[in-house]
Amino acid sequence: MGLRDENLRGVIDGRCEFLNTWLFTGLNLDVKDYEKFDEFLDLKKILKQKIENGKFEDGKEEIFKKLESIGKNKIRLDPGILRVAFWFYNEVNKLSDEALKCGGFTRLDVLEGMQKIEDMLRNG
């Protein structure tokens, strides 16, 4: 793993910590407990299957399709969909570089997805 990849992993880890705190504070949960949380259960099942099958791009598309259907105002009032999106990217980030590559994803894709979540949280 090159220096660039190590730096990218550090940035992703920092982003994960930040988003975990922002999205789960007050719920007495964090992303590692998310399997127990019933929010957007159907979407989570779809995303879990996409992860298991290495279809990361399809999972990303499912998330952003759902985000569009919900609309910004509802997301601002209830960021549950962003919790699911973060859970997805966090799970994908746990995979090896080889598994990501086989699924057509990179660590940079993970970081960009997390940045979009953060932007939605900040900007509504």
The pLDDT score that the predictor gives to residue 58 is: 96
- Please tell me the distance from the alpha carbon of residue 55 to that of residue 22, in angstroms, as a whole number: 27
What is the mean predicted confidence (pLDDT) over 80-102?
91
pLDDT tens, position by position, 42-88 = 888 999 999 999 999 999 999 989 888 887 777 766 778 888 999 99
Q: Quick one: 4 exposed, middle or buried, by C-beta within 10 A (0-12, 13-18, 19+)?
A: exposed
